[in-house]
Structure 1
Amino acid sequence: MSITHYTKEILDILDLHLTFSEDCFRKEKIAGEMSFVFYGKLTYQAQSCFHCGVEDPQHFVKWGFKTVRYLLNDVSEYKTYLKIKKQRFRCKICGKTFIAASSVADRYCSIARRVKLSIDEKLMEPFSMATIARMKHVSPTTVLRELRRFEKSQRPSKDSLPEVLCFDEFQSVNRVAGAMSFIMMDGQSHQLLDIVANRQLPHLQRYFARYDSQARKHVQFVVSDFYSPYASLVKTFFPNAQLVIDRFHISQHIGRAFQNQRTQVMKRFASKTGPHKHLKKFWKLLQKNAWELDYEQHHWRPSFRAHLTEQDIVDRLLAYSSELRQGYRVYQAFLSAIHGKNQQKFDQLLAEDYAFLPKAFQTVIQTFKVYHQEIAWAFTVPYSNGPLEGLNNHIKVLKRVAYGFRNFQNFRERIFLYRGKYFQSVSPEVSLKHKRKSS
């Protein structure tokens, strides 16, 4: 193998006309930093003029060389450059000169295409754009320019919608009204469909009005939380769709009511007393599903000065207040009905009288009665907002790592790139091969 072949393999270059000599590598100091520099030569017979477009090689004269420097991906953690001595040509027809084109980089650009591809891959990871710029030795503006190349490809088609839609919102940039943005996902394939800057009803109405009426009629189910504008939105724009309240939000609603009751009971005790400390420290055990509590393994609990199981701790916490014990029983009864998708038991719980419970409980139960039909669908269909909630968690990580975003469009494009790693469609053949290998 020749030096040219080995050098191209190291630098990941495929240009057939680029050659390297034996002394092509040097270690130089560029911009105050020691860097690897590779020297190459690019020459061939031009087939057409870049300016006038003439396609007769007889009209082109070789007109010396011009050295061009390109930034490459790092080699052995060193900043790496490629200096190419490019052939110049002169066109006899138009009298203008042009230089040989290379596949290493785009014309008029000193950053190699491989570097740009590497930037695109980094944008799919939870890195800030400033961090990516430092890693690839480019400016943040270059990273931003690469990000905005994907803007057109992220515009969804307004001619089709899936049968199942998942609606949710997440905390967006401060410049958005209410700082909350709307996010929509396919409930079957779990593909992110679109992100709208504002989740308020007038903005969503204008957004969905752009979709074709037949596409909106194709939607059969819309899964969402208890955000009231979604109900009116579904009724207006999706005539054949049924609104389904996500089971997670049903559990979350009743869980927050019990959490408020626990806080009220805790504040009745002095801050330095045992009951106050215990109710504050072991609150997660009270929120946990009762059937998942450990009742076998005993561990030393310094605050109780005894070896106790999780079930023992819960029993001692509930002994501090009869009201808390009643609220806990109601809370666990609803959790059991939701977890088991037992609509009959859920309806029986709604029919009971809860005048003895705090106002927070009564408000939640009244909300359940208002959305009774939508909750009933949650016990029937297999769809949920679980994948969308998982994506929201990744969005929070991305936002925290990037120290926030000021521009919503940049934030939206990063989410579309970032979610591609977690929600990629896999063909049945690929999935079957993966299962065979794992088995």
Structure 2
Amino acid sequence: MKFSVEQILNLPGIKVLNCQDIEGLGLIIEIQVDSKSSKCPRCGKASHSIHQHHWRNIKDLPWSNQQVILRIDRRQFRCKNCQKLFSEDLDFVDKQRGYTKRFAIEIVKQVLDSNIRSVAERNDLSESEIQSMLDSLESDISFETSEIKRLGIDEISLIKGQGNYLGVLVDLDRRKPIDIVESRRQSEMTQALQSMGNEVLEQIEEVSIDLWKPYKSLVKELMPNAEVTIDRFHVMKQVNDELDAARKQQKKEANSLKNKLDRDRILAGLLKSKYSLLKNEDSLNETQKEKLKAVQNVSPTLSKMHELKEKFRNIFNTAESWGDGVLKLLDWMYDSSLYFPKTIRTIFRWFGDIVGYFEQRTTSGTVEGINNKLKLVKRLGYGFRNFANFRLRCLLSWHFSVKFP
């Protein structure tokens, strides 16, 4: 079956006047609106009076890797009703742009899977042209907040090592970010949450946060009907951090031993043992299992701490009810008082919010998954120093649903 140029071009209401394949330029397609009249934007009356013709060259989607230039006859009409001149509307290209809307959307799709520099080189565009395409789609980002019931609050560092954290708000049920906030400071986070409206905030039933008090204060102040749940993985991180600190201390103490045989034996057992100790035991490969045994043979302290670490993890995996979880956690705290003092102090401070997990079973797994994708966006952008650009790129990654003909 043969297709005409108009069918392949697929721009409804447009007729093709001419098509040429020019070496070095690509396909040059002359087009015009297939109508003898146009509606005046002021009074709404149709006009048949053509005042003059304006020709524009704009980029369109390539055909079989061949560049396509649309040479458009954008006619100017005179309205006999209001005696004003106007140019006919072209719904497939924005004003003052040198490319079609669908070309811009395709470029943005490429950017979301790559980075601006590579896409610019691949499509013979400037980085500023691509940035303008991204900016033009900002108004298309929308997120329905009226159904939010469970909210996740977390943060991400825009520039690693500088301590400047962005706030991340996530709809846990839809698994999408609601907003990226320029700072996790309470004032900025308050403003971002208040922009959702009191009606939305009052309907939120649960908020999952990490172990940072300002987040809890935000929930109590702005979301009166929400229960706070401390994510189990942040508490697990406290346990792992304390276990790893003990591992480092054991190595330090071993290095100070005067008996060379004892020193070498213990250091050999502890060598490259970090992941064998911290990784879930049921996920260890054979080499890591052997290393774990070696650690257990040379350090009774680390052996016991690893055992308690695994028990802690299993409490959250196996607790059958809120009461069962609370009792098991209290027992663990009693058994671990000599080995995990910092973690136990943290659990005491946040006990009510931590045990909320046993009732709601909410975790920040969704939030962490989103944060990992945000980090990927950051890497693809070679590190964003402009927050507005970073926020736009991130939100487009989840809320980019613009369709074109």
TM-score in terms of structure 1 length: 0.76
Structure 1's 133 and 288: CA in aligned 2 closer, same or farther, altered over 3 A?
same
1:167 aligned partner: 153
1:406 aligned partner: 385
1:301 aligned partner: none
1:36 aligned partner: 26
Unaligned runs of 5+ in 2: 257-262, 320-324
1:7 to 1, 5, 8: 5
Structure 2 CA distance, aligned partners of 1:118 and 1:164? 33
2:228 to 243, 248, 263: 243
The letter of the residue matching 1:253 is: Q
The letter of the residue matching 1:13 is: N
2:352 aligned partner: 373
1:25 to 20, 25, 46: 20
Contact 1:14 1:103 in 2 (8 A): no
2:272 aligned with 1:281? yes
Contact 1:184 1:195 in 2 (8 A): yes
The letter of the residue matching 2:318 is: G
The letter of the residue matching 2:242 is: A
Structure 1 segment 13-412 matched on structure 2, within 5 A: 13-21=10-18, 24-28=19-23, 34-42=24-32, 44-48=35-39, 55-57=46-48, 60=49, 67-84=55-72, 102-123=90-111, 125-154=112-141, 160=146, 162-172=148-158, 178-210=163-195, 212-270=197-255, 273=264, 275-276=266-267, 279-293=270-284, 310-341=288-319, 342-352=325-335, 354-355=337-338, 357=339, 361-412=340-391
Structure 1's 26 and 88: CA in aligned 2 closer, same or farther, altered over 3 A?
farther
Structure 2 CA distance, aligned partners of 1:7 and 1:403? 41
Q: By how many angstroms is 1:169 displaced? A: 0.7
Q: By how many angstroms is 1:217 displaced? A: 2.8
Q: By how many angstroms is 1:382 displaced? A: 2.3
Structure 1 CA distance, aligned partners of 2:203 and 2:44? 51
Residues 184-228 of structure 1, C-alpha deviation per residue, up to 9 Å, x if partnerless?
A: 112222232222211122333344455544433322211111112
Q: By how many angstroms is 1:103 displaced? A: 5.0
Q: By how many angstroms is 1:286 displaced? A: 1.5
Contact 2:54 2:74 in 1 (8 A): yes
Contact 2:61 2:102 in 1 (8 A): yes
Contact 1:61 1:91 in 2 (8 A): no
Structure 1's 267 and 126: CA in aligned 2 closer, same or farther, altered over 3 A?
farther
- Greater displacement, 162-171 / 36-45: 36-45
Contact 1:72 1:82 in 2 (8 A): yes
Structure 2 CA distance, aligned partners of 1:19 and 1:181? 50
Residues 155-196 of structure 1, C-alpha deviation per residue, up to 9 Å, x if partnerless?
A: 6678x462211111111258xx94101111122222322222
Unaligned runs of 5+ in 1: 29-33, 298-308, 425-439
The letter of the residue matching 1:337 is: I
Q: By how many angstroms is 1:333 displaced? A: 2.0
Contact 1:37 1:83 in 2 (8 A): no
Structure 1 CA distance, aligned partners of 2:82 and 2:203? 59
Q: How big is the alpha-carbon RMSD for the aligned residues of Structure 1 and Structure 2? A: 3.4
Contact 1:222 1:241 in 2 (8 A): yes
The letter of the residue matching 1:144 is: Q
The letter of the residue matching 2:209 is: S
Structure 2 CA distance, aligned partners of 1:84 and 1:353? 76
Structure 1's 56 and 375: CA in aligned 2 closer, same or farther, altered over 3 A?
closer
Contact 1:15 1:102 in 2 (8 A): no
Contact 1:44 1:87 in 2 (8 A): no
Structure 2 CA distance, aligned partners of 1:53 and 1:164? 47
Q: By how many angstroms is 1:257 displaced? A: 0.8
- Greater displacement, 139-148 / 38-47: 38-47
Secondary structure of residue in 2 paired with 1:405: coil
Contact 1:36 1:79 in 2 (8 A): yes
1:434 aligned partner: none
Contact 1:173 1:407 in 2 (8 A): no
Residues 228-257 of structure 1, C-alpha deviation per residue, up to 9 Å, x if partnerless?
A: 212222222222222111111121110111
Residues 65-104 of structure 1, C-alpha deviation per residue, up to 9 Å, x if partnerless?
A: 5543221222333333233456666778899877665555
Structure 1's 396 and 108: CA in aligned 2 closer, same or farther, altered over 3 A?
closer
Structure 1's 274 and 414: CA in aligned 2 closer, same or farther, altered over 3 A?
farther
Secondary structure of residue in 2 paired with 1:352: helix
Secondary structure of residue in 2 paired with 1:73: strand
The letter of the residue matching 2:293 is: D
How many residues matched? 389
Secondary structure of residue in 2 paired with 1:148: helix
